[in-house]
Amino acid sequence: MAKKQFKAESKRLLEMMINSIYSQKEIFLRELISNSSDAIDKIYYKALTDESLTFDQDNYYIKVVADKKARTLKITDTGIGMTKEELENNLGVIAKSGSLAFKNENEMRDGQDIIGQFGVGFYSSFMVADVVTVISRSLGSDEAYIWESKGVDGYTIKTCEKDEIGTDIILKIKDNTEDDNYDDYLESYRLKSIIKKYSDFIRYPIKMDVTEQKPKEGTENEFEDVIEEQTINSMVPIWRKNKSELTDEDYENFYAEKHYGFDKPLKHIHISVDGAVRYQSILYIPEQMPYDYYTKEFEKGLELYSSGVLIMEKCSDLLPDYFSFVKGMVDSEDLSLNISREILQHDRQLKLIAKNIKKKIKSQLLSLLRDDRENYEKFYDSFGRQLKFGVYSDFGNNKELLQDLLMFYSSTEKKLVTLEEYVSRMPENQKYIYYASGENNARIEKLPQTEVIAEKGYEILYFTDEVDEFAIKMLLKYQEKEFKSISSGDLGIEEDNVDKTDIEESDNKALFDYMKETLSGKVKDVKVSKRLKSHPVCLSSDGEVSIEMEKILKSMPD
Ligand code: ADP
Ligand code: MG
């Protein structure tokens, strides 16, 4: 039977897995168990919603069997299985191929990073195995197939026998090396602890045959080895557990297990509501922006469960766009299993949950801002723009919700500040919240108009993001204080406090005429300014639209 080749980028990843120096090789088990659990979810869901199928609870399990003599580790599941085509398509290519595309070559070579940062699923088995064999029979099929691969040089697929629907993954565990002890992955105490650590909340039993010394029947002090099938995981989903039972590490492990992000989350939010609508939810504020975050490809949404059964992977109705960075899941007993996407959109319960979640996210972001400024700034660096877009596209009442979460660089504080902080520092005679737009902070600092405001001791917010000024225009005011661009005509600074210039336009008519003529079509007018200190000239606008905004508006397609 001819060997089939892996796709190019899968090959790259495989090579990396085989030569991996990653210290946490143990995560391969988490990946395989999570695939098994996904596969059982699929068949479980089918059985619940398809009357022609009947399954009983005992039919759903995952079993891990180690054979020290043969050096094999087998992970069996009673999930939905894979057809021949699925074996080819799912295991022959990287499922989320995009995730590799954004990683640069250095990071790829490092390996450490890529494996640590996001789960690479099935391929991680090559970190611990020389040969990986997959035997699978798909629901509704009489035929079973065996897929086998020794790594980069490809894989084979043949027909084979299998009585039950489901999948067996058999790993031929590598021999020990000087640096790595692979024997560990054949030891039941070690396997047990890996399962406990990463997969405790899996809803289906993860079983193992465990050898235990038991008193021999009919004797007093004699013991014998008894092999007993045990369920290793507690099976209580993490979101059903009590917050007090859980550690930060538990939440971080869940985040990684679910592949919610490649980073360590900045904050988790665990919600348990038992009111008009009942639901549990675990939400995360990530630190890093997903590589496709500000692109059309990015899909927001939370996983949606109905009484513990996954019914939708990305329920977008649960998150407003301005919180699209939030990852996590919602489980509710009040949602029907059979609910379709269309009906769900109008579901009253779901709307209530969404509203509730929105409030929680906001209050948690505020508390992050207050109590952990450093991490809030990390968050803001990644997702601040999204919040500003949220203010700008103010269809609902996002303004009020979001304004306290905004931050801008301050001319006097030399760091990001909130609007609340700005206003609290305003001297009594200051009427407006001043801002200056520009490409970057250094450029804004050089703007002639900043001088007169700085001289008054007023603070200026620097707008370096295109959306900044648009967002502020929607906001209009913060705590009754209007925003004012420093390049606008009237700065609202009392005239007599400003150094008067003794130049009058009428005294220099020829010069002004010459300037107007030379710049004709480029500027509307040339006037004497009372707002300059050391600079001879500045540009200003007299409408609602600042020079920076004009530039953006002009560059936008009609
Ligand atoms: P992911 O789980 O993120 O999709 P993986 O590399 O872990 O990526 O798995 C690739 C695909 O292979 C899965 O999406 C699934 O379709 C299939 N698969 C893997 N393991 C199993 C299994 N035990 N039973 C059924 N399908 C599986
Ligand atoms: Mg997977």
For ligand 1, whether the C-beta of 95 sits within 6 Å is yes
- Among 160-164, 438-442, 530-534, 552-556, the least confident range: 552-556
What is the 3-class SS of 160-182, one letter each residue?
ECCCCCEEEEEEEECCCCCCCCC
Average pLDDT over residues 496-503: 55
Atom of ligand 1 nearest to the CA of 75: 23
For ligand 1, whether the C-beta of 165 sits within 6 Å is no
Q: Can you give the pLDDT at residue 427?
A: 94
For 320, what's the count of Cα atoms within 13 Å in the CB-facing half-sphere?
A: 24
Instruction: Pull the structure tokens for residue 512.
Output: 């002004």
Expressed in angstroms and rounded, the spacing between residue 197 Cα and the centre of ligand 2 is 17
Q: Is 314 helix (H, G, I), strand (E, B) or coil?
A: strand
Name the band, by pLDDT with cuts 50, 70 and 90, for residue 23.
low
- The residue ranges of DSSP E strands in 338-457, in sequence order, are 407-410, 416-418, 433-437
Q: Is the dihedral of CA 123, 129, 133, 138 positive or negative?
A: negative
Q: Which residues contact 267 (CB under 8 A, 6 or more apart)?
A: 284, 285, 364, 368, 375
Name the band, by pLDDT with cuts 50, 70 and 90, for residue 282.
very high
Atom of ligand 1 nearest to the CA of 31: 7
User: Which amino acid belongs to residue 314?
Assistant: K
- pLDDT over 70, % of the chain: 87
Q: Which of 32, 249, 8 is nearest to 120 (CA)?
A: 32
Residue 546 backbone phi and psi in degrees, to 5: -80, 170
Expressed in angstroms and rounded, the spacing between residue 386 Cα and the centre of ligand 2 is 29
CA dist., res. 87 & res. 164, Å (int): 17
Q: Can you give the pLDDT at residue 413?
A: 96
Q: Which residues contact 27 (CB under 8 A, 6 or more apart)?
A: 115, 119, 124, 198, 256
The predicted-structure confidence for 87-138, as pLDDT tens digits, reads as follows: 988 886 654 433 444 444 445 444 444 554 444 688 889 989 999 999 999 9
Pocket-testing residue among 10, 28, 38, 262, ligand 1, by greatest number of atoms within 8 A of Cβ: 38
Expressed in angstroms and rounded, the spacing between residue 344 Cα and the centre of ligand 2 is 27
Average pLDDT over residues 263-273: 94
Q: Is 7 helix (H, G, I), strand (E, B) or coil?
A: coil
Task: Tell me if 23 sits within 8 A of 184, measured CB to CB.
Answer: no
The predicted-structure confidence for 376-399, as pLDDT tens digits, reads as follows: 999 999 999 999 999 988 666 778
For ligand 1, whether the C-beta of 122 sits within 6 Å is yes
Expressed in angstroms and rounded, the spacing between residue 253 Cα and the centre of ligand 1 is 19
Q: Can you give the pLDDT at residue 121?
A: 80
CA dist., res. 284 & res. 265, Å (int): 6
Q: Is the pLDDT of residue 300 over 50?
A: yes
CA dist., res. 155 & res. 521, Å (int): 69
Q: Which residue has the higher pLDDT, 506 or 223?
A: 223
Task: Tell me if 484 sits within 8 A of 433, measured CB to CB.
Answer: yes
- Greatest mean pLDDT among 16-30, 156-170, 287-301: 156-170
Q: Which residue reads 């450029």 in tokens? A: 443
Q: Which residue has the higher pLDDT, 300 or 107?
A: 300
Indicate the pairing of strand 433-437 with strand 481-485.
parallel
List alpha helices for 24-83, DSSP H: 27-49
Q: Can you give the pLDDT at residue 340?
A: 72
- Among 172-176, 414-418, 455-459, the least confident range: 455-459
This prediction has a pTM of: 0.73
The length of the chain is: 558
User: Which amino acid belongs to residue 77?
Assistant: D
What is the 3-class SS of 240-291, one letter each residue?
HCCHHHCCHHHHHHHHHHCCCCCCCCCEEEEEEEECCCEEEEEEEECCCCCC
List alpha helices for 152-280, DSSP H: 188-199, 248-257
Please count the other Cβ atoms lying within 10 Å of the Cβ belonging to residue 340. 9
For ligand 1, whether the C-beta of 36 sits within 6 Å is yes
Q: Can you give the pLDDT at residue 97?
A: 38
Nearest CA to ligand 1 atom 10: 90
CA dist., res. 232 & res. 4, Å (int): 37
Task: Tell me if 6 sits within 8 A of 14, measured CB to CB.
Answer: yes
Q: Can you give the pLDDT at residue 497?
A: 45
Name the band, by pLDDT with cuts 50, 70 and 90, for residue 501.
low
Name the average pLDDT for the chain.
86
Q: Is the dihedral of CA 305, 310, 311, 313 positive or negative?
A: positive
For ligand 1, whether the C-beta of 253 sits within 6 Å is no
Q: Is 225 helix (H, G, I), strand (E, B) or coil?
A: strand
For 221, what's the count of Cα atoms within 13 Å in the CB-facing half-sphere?
A: 0
Nearest CA to ligand 1 atom 8: 121
ipTM of the assembly? Answer: 0.99
Q: Which residue has the higher pLDDT, 280 or 218?
A: 280
Q: Which of 96, 121, 129 is nearest to 32 (CA)?
A: 121
CA dist., res. 411 & res. 218, Å (int): 85
Q: Is the pLDDT of residue 331 over 90?
A: yes
Q: Can you give the pLDDT at residue 263?
A: 86
Average pLDDT over residues 273-289: 93
Expressed in angstroms and rounded, the spacing between residue 366 Cα and the centre of ligand 1 is 38
Name the band, by pLDDT with cuts 50, 70 and 90, for residue 140.
very high
> Nearest ligand, CA of residue 95?
1
Q: Can you give the pLDDT at residue 307?
A: 82
Q: Can you give the pLDDT at residue 551?
A: 67
Expressed in angstroms and rounded, the spacing between residue 225 Cα and the centre of ligand 1 is 36
- Which residues on adjacent β-strands are paired with residue 148? 133, 156
Task: Tell me if 303 sits within 8 A of 254, measured CB to CB.
Answer: no
- Among 21-25, 451-455, 463-467, the least confident range: 21-25
CA dist., res. 148 & res. 133, Å (int): 4
The predicted-structure confidence for 153-203, as pLDDT tens digits, reads as follows: 789 999 999 999 999 999 999 999 988 899 999 999 999 999 988 888 888
CA dist., res. 388 & res. 394, Å (int): 10
Q: Find the farthest-apart pair of alpha carbons in the chain and give their distance in angstroms, rounded.
A: 121
Name the band, by pLDDT with cuts 50, 70 and 90, for residue 316.
very high
Residue 496 sits at the vertex; the CA angle it makes with 494 and 501, to the nearest 5 degrees, is 115
- Among 169-178, 246-255, 305-314, 460-469, the least confident range: 305-314
For ligand 1, whether the C-beta of 39 sits within 6 Å is yes
Q: Is 1 helix (H, G, I), strand (E, B) or coil?
A: coil
CA dist., res. 400 & res. 419, Å (int): 12
Residue 301 backbone phi and psi in degrees, to 5: 145, 160
Q: Can you give the pLDDT at residue 117?
A: 45
Q: Can you give the pLDDT at residue 394?
A: 67
- Which residues on adjacent β-strands are paired with residue 151? 154
Expressed in angstroms and rounded, the spacing between residue 98 Cα and the centre of ligand 1 is 16
- Among 3-12, 217-226, 448-457, the least confident range: 3-12
The predicted-structure confidence for 534-553, as pLDDT tens digits, reads as follows: 777 777 776 666 666 666 66
Q: Can you give the pLDDT at residue 451?
A: 87
Average pLDDT over residues 347-363: 94
Nearest CA to ligand 1 atom 13: 90
CA dist., res. 267 & res. 126, Å (int): 32
Q: Is 206 helix (H, G, I), strand (E, B) or coil?
A: strand
Q: Which of 317, 476, 286 is nearest to 400 (CA)?
A: 476
- Greatest mean pLDDT among 94-108, 204-218, 336-350: 204-218
Q: Which residues contact 460 (CB under 8 A, 6 or more apart)?
A: 410, 411, 412, 434, 435, 436, 444, 450, 453, 454, 486
Instruction: Pull the structure tokens for residue 353.
Output: 């949950």
Q: Can you give the pLDDT at residue 371?
A: 96
Q: Is 242 helix (H, G, I), strand (E, B) or coil?
A: coil
Q: Can you give the pLDDT at residue 99?
A: 43
- Among 52-66, 332-346, 349-363, the least confident range: 332-346
User: DSSP letters of 372-402?
Assistant: -HHHHHHHHHHHHHHHHHHHHT-SSSHHHHH
